[in-house]
């Protein structure tokens, strides 16, 4: 049985400030937690039933296990309908960006994405298409937000997410900066022969004024119907697919 | 000022059963409501401030207007952070499917999609790519669910959504049935020369057992990384883009 203070401790991690102060975040569900157990992330503790615990195939002895009831799970989960388990995982140390690698492969850049569902879906999609790194503007939604983690479906354990000043990063890069805008060159006609940054903008406002002038290749997903715009995670996916289709 | 019974009436439409019984649903935000005003849908009433009302360019005199305060908007909105207006719109009469048109263009089929955000995003994406019709299994999430309407960003005013028995529809069609599965032919290598159905399955379970045997062309979005699967709205978008890229 969990004490009141144990419940409070897990619940504190529902809040961004506490995640930052404690360098810890939450992952829910055996499937997602398993992917973090199989990664370089350090899983500190798992809260679930004994019946659920045996579903984890690789449990290191350093992982603390708390046996809890369904009622307790409901108390600590961030979800309205909780999954089977909650884990507390350590936020890794920030790793420096390696600008020398940017010219070798495409890198996704998120400029002010606010919706955690979109952010998580972009991480999952990047992982599917083999993009190992995402770089975000400082005002992009926090990657350890439970809704981001949830939507990433375990892919956050494999895709490195950095936050930095985009203008500075992009202006000094010396590589193509592909920006998704409404009036660019069709992605079907863009050559994508030279790897570069793929910039995706905020849900409402698009790419920020500071970054727009730094775009070297304006690209567009052609519209065949009447919707005013595409969801940003959808745009990211279509561009990733188009690049990979070319075998790049 | 709204009376208690007026507030109750709008709030009743937050619930599926009442939407069905009254043949009414809610749309929020000037932008989305405007798209319904410009469509064949009948907008019954709009709840907003006078300052917001003037933003509507095409207001028919048959639309009832209720001037409300921000506090009242909060009481009737389905959103945690309400937009600027709420409209009550009539659910149109069901139109019959036209099987003779199926061989002329690709039709999206949703087999048990449960997440309203995914459903709405698929409608928005279909609209962008010029797919005018979506056919859903009976157990797919209700299209007038406020979260579906919200995510469709007005595109529901242009894309026709039908519900029917999929096995019956598909088995009698005589056209290709492209099903997105994990072990099909790469979409990049599929010819898509003959229009047909594009079947997308449930978020967790995929395409249903009843429909799987009816698939004539198993297709797959190739995986280049490690994610176990793609979000269903992402899959729909990538397939739509790939078909349109070929100029079909």
Last residue of a domain, one of A90, A122, A139: A90
Chain segment B10-45, per-residue pLDDT in tens: 999 999 999 999 999 999 999 999 999 999 999 999
Q: In chain B, which residues have their Cβ closer than 8 Å to the Cβ of A227?
A: 124-125, 127-128, 153-155, 158
Model pLDDT, residue A60: 84
Q: In chain B, which residues have their Cβ closer than 8 Å to the Cβ of A31?
A: 228
Secondary structure letter of residue A96 according to DSSP: P
Secondary structure letter of residue B220 according to DSSP: E
| Residues B158, A223: C-beta atoms closer than 8 Å | no
Separation CA A194–CA A105 (nearest Å) = 9
Confidence of residue B158 (pLDDT cuts 50, 70, 90): very high
Contact between A19 and A144 (Cβ < 8 Å): yes
Chain segment A111-163, per-residue pLDDT in tens: 999 999 999 999 999 999 999 999 999 999 999 999 999 999 999 999 999 99
* Residues in a beta bridge with A178: A198, A217
Confidence of residue A64 (pLDDT cuts 50, 70, 90): very high
Query: Could you tell me the strand order of the sheet in which B85-90 lies?
Result: B24-28, B85-90, B43-48, B64-67
Separation CA B70–CA B22 (nearest Å) = 26
> Looking at residues A84-112, what average pLDDT do you find?
95
* Residues in a beta bridge with A134: A108, A161
> Looking at residues B85-107, what average pLDDT do you find?
94
Does residue A22 share a domain with residue A107? no
Q: In chain A, which residues have their Cβ closer than 8 Å to the Cβ of B119?
A: none
In angstroms, the separation between the Cα of residue B168 and the nearest Cα of chain A is 29
Q: What is the largest CA-CA distance in chain A?
A: 60
| Residues B126, A224: C-beta atoms closer than 8 Å | no
Instruction: Say what the ipTM of the complex is.
Output: 0.95
Separation CA A29–CA A84 (nearest Å) = 5
Does residue B150 share a domain with residue B58? no
Kindly give the residue spans of alpha helices, DSSP state H, lying in A28-114.
30-37, 50-53, 70-76
Query: For chain A, where are the E strands, in sequence order?
Result: 24-28, 43-48, 64-67, 85-90, 107-111, 133-137, 160-164, 177-186, 197-201, 217-220
Which token pair is B50? Answer: 């006078």
Does residue B112 share a domain with residue B84? no
Tally of domains within chain B: 2
Contact between A167 and A205 (Cβ < 8 Å): no
Model pLDDT, residue A59: 82
Contact between A27 and A149 (Cβ < 8 Å): yes
What is the Cβ-side half-sphere exposure of residue B21, based on CA atoms within 13 angstroms?
8
Query: For B59-159, where are the E strands, in sequence order?
Result: 64-67, 85-90, 107-111, 133-137
Q: Who's near B243: CB < 8 A, 6+ residues apart?
A: B106, B129, B192, B198
Separation CA B207–CA A204 (nearest Å) = 33
| Residues A227, B125: C-beta atoms closer than 8 Å | yes
Does residue B122 share a domain with residue B19? no
CATH number for the domain including A53? 3.30.1330.30
* Residues in a beta bridge with A217: A178
In angstroms, the separation between the Cα of residue B132 and the nearest Cα of chain A is 8
* Chain-centre distance for alpha carbon A175: 24
Does residue A199 share a domain with residue A174? yes
Last residue of a domain, one of A90, A114, A138: A90
CATH number for the domain including B123? 3.40.1280.10
Does residue B215 share a domain with residue B107? yes
Does residue B122 share a domain with residue B104? yes
Which positions 79-98 of B are in contact with A (Cβ < 8 Å)? none
Residue A30: domain span: 4-90
Last residue of a domain, one of A56, A90, A124: A90
Confidence of residue B120 (pLDDT cuts 50, 70, 90): very high
Contact between B134 and B162 (Cβ < 8 Å): yes
Q: Who's near B210: CB < 8 A, 6+ residues apart?
A: B166, B167
| Residues B225, A132: C-beta atoms closer than 8 Å | yes
Separation CA A80–CA A25 (nearest Å) = 18
Does residue B108 share a domain with residue B15? no
Secondary structure letter of residue B158 according to DSSP: T
In angstroms, the separation between the Cα of residue A10 and the nearest Cα of chain B is 24
Q: In chain B, which residues have their Cβ closer than 8 Å to the Cβ of A157?
A: none
Does residue A84 share a domain with residue A105? no
Q: What is the CA radius of gyration of chain B?
A: 20
**Residue of B231, B233, B236 to mutate, interface with A, max A Cβ within 10 Å:** B231
Does residue A131 share a domain with residue A24? no
Does residue A45 share a domain with residue A153? no
The rounded mean pLDDT for chain A is 95
**Residue of B117, B227, B233 lying closest to A128 (CB–CB):** B227
Which token pair is B115? Answer: 């997440």
Does residue A116 share a domain with residue A64? no
Select from A26, A2, A28, A31 the least CA-distant residue to A15: A26
Which token pair is B98? Answer: 């036209």
């Amino acid at each position: 049985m969990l004490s009141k203070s144990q419940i409070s401790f897990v619940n504190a991690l529902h809040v961004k400030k506490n995640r930052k102060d404690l360098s810890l975040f939450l992952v829910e569900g055996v499937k997602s937690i398993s992917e973090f157990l199989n990664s370089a992330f350090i899983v500190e503790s798992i809260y679930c039933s004994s019946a659920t615990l045996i579903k984890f195939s690789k449990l290191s002895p350093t992982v603390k296990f708390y046996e809890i009831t369904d009622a307790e799970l409901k108390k600590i989960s961030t979800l309205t309908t909780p999954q089977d388990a909650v884990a507390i995982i350590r936020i890794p140390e920030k790793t420096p960006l390696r600008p020398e690698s940017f010219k070798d492969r495409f890198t996704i850049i998120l400029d002010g994405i606010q919706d955690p569902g979109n952010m998580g879906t972009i991480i999952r999609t990047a992982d599917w298409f083999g993009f190992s790194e995402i770089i975000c503007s400082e005002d992009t939604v926090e990657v350890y937000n439970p809704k981001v983690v949830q939507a990433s479906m375990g892919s956050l354990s494999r895709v490195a997410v950095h936050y930095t000043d985009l203008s500075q990063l992009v202006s000094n890069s010396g590589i193509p900066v592909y920006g998704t805008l409404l009036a660019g060159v069709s992605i079907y006609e863009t050559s994508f022969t030279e790897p570069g940054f793929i910039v995706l903008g905020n849900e409402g406002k698009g790419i920020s004024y500071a970054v727009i002038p730094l775009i070297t290749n304006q690209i567009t997903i052609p519209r065949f119907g009447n919707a005013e715009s595409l969801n940003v995670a959808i745009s990211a996916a279509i561009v990733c697919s188009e690049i990979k289709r070319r075998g790049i």
